[in-house]
Structure 1
Amino acid sequence: MYQPSLFNSFFQGGFECSTHRRGDGRRLDLLAATGHDRWTAEDYAALQRQGIGTVRDGLRWHLIERRAGDYDWSSFLPQLRAANACGTQVIWDLCHYGWPDDLDIWRPGFVERFARFAAAAARLVREESDTVPFYSPINEISFWAWAGGDHGYFNPLGLGRGAELKHQLVRASIAAIEAIREVEPRARFVQVDPAIHIRASNDRPGPQREAENARQAQFEAWDMLCGKAWPGLGGQPEYLDIVGINYYSDNQWYLGGPTIERSHPDYRAFQGILAEIHQRYGRPLLVAETGAEGDLRGDWLRYVSEQVGIALQRGVPVEGICLYPVLDYPGWDDERHCPTGLLGFADAEGRRELHAGLADELRLQRTRFAAFEPRQRVAPA
């Protein structure tokens, strides 16, 4: 049985902090849209009351560095100081799909400037706190390459350039890690990407090899980071520190077909996915994003928690489960109310309604996982 030790709380909360530009050119800022930038301290305190002492949160690079090398930390310092004041441990996303407007993501300068920004952020964090910092350099490299490089869903609106974008983001992540370690050798890093499962349809016999190749693509960014693939990018095992796994109910599907429902025999148990990823990399795992909408929230947390519990019993080193997004938020494309959070939208005083069903399930799972609560604050790398 594995005993988690990395984070202050096993159950965590993730704040949606996307800052990408949509296809119509509009830039999103989910920290502002959810009011978290205004009510950071209140949000951290509300999660503390639910037993959540570790969160994922983000820096908005496009606001901090509007001109090269000129850093305005006014959008970040309130978050950093609120976390320090209430004792919340944060995994800081440095680049969550967005970058400054004057920077070309396809050029070498993107990598160099991101590394300098990462070092500057790490220096500020070190000045404000003496705790071991956690960073997620670039969120979802594989998904970003697919959405922004192959299908033009959001910036940089590439078509058929997914591999090129993936290589660029891997280079940037490696450069950022090196820059941060120069400033803060104790820093830990979470490399986040979705975990998926793809099958050829049984009722429409399909190409099994093609389905398996599509499934294997989920490992490409992690393989590049640790040097298993494309070693010319500079990957080394030490760049894959903690493997962050994003997992939702629609992360399994038939090749060219619909989602595989959890009740179907073709659905792969999540604990098996976790075991495969650990066997492949031998690194600690974090369920970095998971959640559902509406009344399904509690049931989904129950399933994921049960599967993680089985994995822990079998020795798979899962360090935590992050509810994501932990706040309701306006949808990327249509701004609809997405009821996914443990907490809803804030009122004029920063108060947010607690979703009773999810809160009850979280309370139950925290009781069941009491034996897995961390015994120490931070384990060495």
Structure 2
Amino acid sequence: MPQAVSPNVGNPAASAVTFDSFFMGGFECSSHRRKDGVRLDLVRATGHDSHAQRDYRGCANLGLRTLRDGLRWHLIEKAPGVYDWSSWAPMIEAANVAGVQVIWDIFHYGTPDYLDQGGKELIERYAAFAAEAVRLHRAVSGKPALVCPINEISFFAWAVEVGYFPPAGPRRRGWFKRHLVKAAVQGIRAMREADPECRFIWAEPLIHIAPRDRSRAEIRTAEKVRQGQFEAYDMLMGRVEPQLGGSEDLIDVIGLNFYPHNQWYLHGPTIPMGHHEYRALSEMLVEVARRYPQPMYIAETGAEGSGGPAWLHYVCDEVREAMNQGARVGGICLYPITAYPGWDNSRHAEVGLFSVIHADGSRRTRQPMADELARQQRLFDQHSRPTQPGMPE
């Protein structure tokens, strides 16, 4: 397998982030309220809260020794500054026992009920919560935390602005994204003060937007909207709007979330793979690599149902091509790794490697996905192996 070791270019004084495996698994951990007020808790809904150790071992047995998982802030801090870690500390212990490395999402959309996520208090309370979280992680595991400070700032901001999530703050375009960046900046400062060795591994959507026609105005607008996918990273790095406090050292690894629906026409439908407007993932990864010096990884990818193996095949082929062109891709995370109930209507979504939990407490392995994963693990192992003199390419 490729060495999943990512030198930290943004923060030369920091040690490198080392992933324990190139292929990873991510547990759906969204805990936000829907626009109708219903609170989601996907960690509980998938049974992962009570089966964490078994879930982690199942992943490790298939070579997924680095995982993504998340905290449920709404359970931990039900009153300002009062923390109950009983929903998370056992998961840290389970990871230790299973021998897996976890990238923890500190803030995966859901805020405590007492907190107005559009208010200034969010920034202060988030920073305090994040600092306490990395302290606890060190105390329980004996290791510095690998964290995703805020999951998908771009999507989070879009969801609030269009009303997919409950509204927050003024309705000015772009306001909530800046609000989240401010929270992330202050949170990272607090986490670094609590544990200087913790590292920051992000997750933002990777998208493509095509014009509906070839008029100059349409092309310009589509490109402007497409470039918006980089705003959160540019703000975090201080490349734009430096008053938000961003700097290059806030990002150790760039995470990119890529799904079959991540390409669409401006104000139009999804672009299907194979269409002439569909952009190769390898091209998109190379663009990111040229834009930012930090190493990257695919933080989320997957497809539902029988399309899963073919999608993994496509993503892996494109990642190898991007690596051939010099992009430093340090891993691919299958997300979600288990079946889960859909956000909007709780429908059964068959994704990832593992089923829901059955009556005997086990999850069934989706064999076609496991077979494709094993094949791709072999291909990446061959891809990273240097060619010896006299041996065929």
TM-score normalised by structure 2 residue count:
0.91
In the alignment, which residue of structure 1 is the partner of 2:126? 114
What amino acid maps onto 2:126 in structure 1? F
CA distance in 2, matches of 1:169, 1:300: 32
Structure 1 residues 1-381: aligned runs within 5 Å: 3-5=3-5, 6-148=18-160, 150-156=161-167, 160-202=171-213, 207-370=218-381
- The 3 A distance-change label for structure 1 pair 162 and 86 is farther
| Comparing 338-347 and 158-167, the one that deviates more | 158-167
Distance 2:332 2:357 in 1: 24
Equivalenced residues, count: 372
Residues 105, 156 of structure 1: 8 Å contact kept: no
**Structure 1 residue 241: deviation in Å?**
1.9
RCO higher in 1 or 2 (8 Å CA, sep ≥ 6)?
A: 1
- CA shift digits 1:136-180 (9 cap, x unpaired): 0110000010011x1111134678445111011101111111111
Q: Which amino acid aligns with 2:193?
A: E
Which amino acid in the other structure matches residue 15 of structure 1? F
Please list every run of 5 or more consecutive structure 1 residues that lacks an aligned counterpart in the other structure. Answer: 375-381
Q: 1:58-84 CA distances to partner (integer Å, 9 max, x unpaired)? A: 000010000111110000011110001
Partner Cα separation in structure 1 for residue 217 and residue 309 of structure 2: 35
CA deviations 1:251-280 (Å, max 9, x no partner) are 111112221111112211101111111111
1:212–1:298 distance in 2 versus 1, CA, 3 Å: same
Distance in 2 (alpha carbons) for counterparts of 1:155 and 1:367: 45
Letter in 2 for 1:295: S
| Cα distance between partner residues in 2 of 1:161 and 1:83 | 42
Shift of 1:315: 1.9
Hey, what's the Cα distance between the residues in 1 that align with 2:145 and 2:61?
Answer: 23
C-alpha displacement at 1:206, in angstroms? Answer: 6.5
Is 2:25–2:336's contact at 8 Å kept on the other side of the alignment? Answer: yes
CA distance in 2, matches of 1:343, 1:203: 44
Rounded to whole Å, the distance in 2 between the matches of 1:162 and 1:126 is 39
Q: If the length of structure 1 is used for normalisation, what is the TM-score?
A: 0.94
Counterpart CA distance in 2 for 1:78 and 1:129 is 11
- Alignment correspondent of 2:8: none
Structure 1 107/249 Cα, relative in aligned 2: closer, same or farther at 3 Å? same
Give the secondary-structure state (helix, strand or coil) at the position aligned to 1:345.
Answer: strand
Shift of residue 203, structure 1, vs aligned partner: 8.1
Opposite residue 77 of structure 2, the aligned amino acid is E
Checking the alignment, whether the CA contact within 8 Å between 2:52 and 2:91 is kept in structure 1 is yes
Distance in 2, Cα, partners of 1:162 & 1:357: 44
Range with bigger deviation, 268-277 or 340-349: 340-349
Task: Tell me: CA distance 1:132–1:308, structure 2 relative to 1, closer, same or farther (3 Å).
Answer: farther
Shift of 1:204: 8.7
Alignment partners' CA distance in 2, 1:337 and 1:205:
43
| Counterpart code for 1:79 | M
Name the CA distance, whole Å, in 2 between partners of 1:258 and 1:216: 19
Separation in 1, partners of 2:172, 2:112: 21
Structure 2 unpaired stretches of 5+: 6-17, 386-393
User: C-alpha displacement at 1:217, in angstroms?
Assistant: 0.6
Cα distance in 2 for partners of 1:69, 1:158 equals 22
1:335 and 1:117, CA in 2 relative to 1: closer, same or farther beyond 3 A? same
* Partner SS for 1:244: strand
Counterparts of 2:384 and 2:295, CA distance in 1:
15
Kindly provide the amino acid, as one letter, of the partner of residue 248 in structure 1.
Answer: Y
Cα distance change, pair 162–344 in 1 and its aligned pair in 2 (3 A): farther
Corresponding residue for 1:377?
Answer: none
- CA distance in structure 1 between the partners assigned to 2:237 and 2:62 by the alignment: 36
